[in-house]
Amino acid sequence: MTLLEIFPSLRDGGMTPRLDPAIWPRDTHYDGDGRITVGGVALADIADQYGTPTYVLDEGEVRGRCQEYRKRFPDAEIIYAGKALLTRAVAEWITDEGLSLDVCSAGELAVALAAWADPRRIVLHGNGKPFAELETAINCGVGRIVVDSPTEITLLSALANRPQRVLIRVTPDIDVHGHPAVRTGVTDQKFGFPIGGQAVWEAVDRIVRQPNLELAGLHCHIGSQIHDTFPYGEAVRRMIGEMARIRDEFDITLTELDLGGGHAVAYRGGDAEMNLAELADIIEDSLDAACARHGFPRPRIALEPGRAVVARAGVTLYRVLSVKHVEDGHTYVTVDGGMSDNPRVALYGARYDAVVVNRHPTGPHMTATIAGRHCEAGDILAHDVRLPADLRPGEVLAMPCTGAYHHSLASSYNGIGRPPIIAVTEGRTRELIRRETIDDLMCREMGC
């Protein structure tokens, strides 16, 4: 007999612990047996059917986030940054929802094309694009290429055999004080051309003299996991200023301004996240003011969210391998995944939460560290997580907000294959990416 059978009032939410909608997919609930469901599917069933660790991805949540962007920014082009998570199905969902797609390698481009994404709505990024990748992109007709170095202009001039639209990536000298690994708006770094500098002039000058290169506009990406709207307003002001200077100097009016991505999500309850309505307002206001000030016609705005589209749609399932209480009072819960499926804790000090998937955590609790199974002390998945004090090996934990930069950053470190991605929607599961097996790892060994 379950607790719910004894206390039916639990069913209508009386004592149901709240799964914070800021970090879980919107369609997350406790079912009648106290099990967590996402997209109408019990996470415990997914763990049983597909094993663990497993990435679960809620299609409805991805589509919902796309719709929210389109609603908040009706006049802007929304270009999903595929680096956050790209599979054929994800590319299909986002294009279905009217988004364009940003790719930064021939591999990502191949996935996009396999999903029948319209090449004209694909934007190619990267500070180092190999010749062969530029050639592939041009041959398949990608809509825009974001130029990131003088060398690339030379390569593009040689390769383009029909008009190719390009944007120039500019660093607007805005420091959002995020993690150094994702601080891309400042001047002294590997991306783009510093704003107001000679290098931008030279890039414009060279591009406009190439008959097959068509300079459509400028691009900037000021960083990632930014929750403050102010830097975006500042970016608009500076970039419009730069576009006006280019007009004055070269007598060309650029028509596109791509403001990149970087919109923060909450990883744990209470974390700050980007408010899209406020972002839309500040972009509008800054655009009005800057365009009026420089007498510049309003360019078409593009935004490139990655994380904010897919992060909350993802939940990772792990099985508990051991629960260990060490002498200083710490409790380590070791699970069957780790830094190979989520390197973000080790890379950026990211913080996560986790819950048991198949019972209401109503009894006594403990505060635990969730550790991975890799051979490094730094292989930690989450600190200070509240878990049932009687947590046992074999139970399944779900870690929310793991849809962005998890699968795409995953490795097979320690010979542990990458987890599958299981999509959920309306009570059904669909395996998007299968688990990487030992055979997969071995088949790269030559001569076996």
Told to check if 224 binds ligand LLP by CB under 6 A, we report yes
Smallest gap from residue 18 Cβ to ligand LLP (A): 26
Taking CB under 6 A as the binding criterion, the range among 2-10, 151-159, 247-255, 258-266 that sits at the site for ligand LLP is 258-266
Q: Which one is catalytic: 104, 220, 375, 443?
A: 375
The contact mask relative to ligand LLP for 82-121 (x = CB under 6 A, - = no) is -xx-----------------x-------------------
User: Which of 278, 348, 362, 435: binder of ligand LLP (CB under 6 A)?
Assistant: 348
CA distance 335 to 53: 9
CB atoms within 10 A of CB 172: 26
User: Which of 35, 125, 359, 374: binder of ligand LLP (CB under 6 A)?
Assistant: 125
- Classified as helix, coil or strand, 53 is coil
DSSP 224-246: SSB--SHHHHHHHHHHHHHHHHH
Based on CB atoms, which residue is closest to ligand LLP, 148 or 234? 148
Distances (CA, A) of 22 to 19, 49, 232, 269, 305: 9, 28, 22, 7, 17
Smallest gap from residue 126 Cβ to ligand LLP (A): 9
Instruction: Using the CB atoms, write b or e for 295-312: b if 16+ within 10 Å.
Output: ebeebebbbbbbbbbbbb
∠ CA(278), CA(281), CA(286), 5° rounding?
125
- Classified as helix, coil or strand, 36 is strand
CA distance 123 to 209: 22
The contact mask relative to ligand LLP for 276-315 (x = CB under 6 A, - = no) is ----------------------------xxxxx-------
Told to check if 192 binds ligand LLP by CB under 6 A, we report no
Taking CB under 6 A as the binding criterion, the range among 43-51, 132-140, 218-226, 437-445 that sits at the site for ligand LLP is 218-226
DSSP 8: G
Told to check if 344 binds ligand LLP by CB under 6 A, we report yes
Told to check if 176 binds ligand LLP by CB under 6 A, we report no
Which residue carries 């055999």 as its tokens? 161
Told to check if 35 binds ligand LLP by CB under 6 A, we report no
∠ CA(246), CA(234), CA(100), 5° rounding?
75
Told to check if 346 binds ligand LLP by CB under 6 A, we report no
Greatest Cα pair distance, the chain, in angstroms, is 79
Based on CB atoms, which residue is closest to ligand LLP, 81 or 243? 81
Look up 375 and say whether it is catalytic: yes
Contact 98, 66 (CB under 8 A): yes
Contacts (CB under 6 A) with ligand LLP, residues 43-82? 81
Based on CB atoms, which residue is closest to ligand LLP, 379 or 395? 379
Q: Provide the annotated active-site residues.
A: 375
Residues forming contacts to ligand LLP in the complex (CB under 6 A) are 81, 83-84, 102, 125, 182, 221, 224-225, 260-263, 304-308, 344, 348, 405, 409
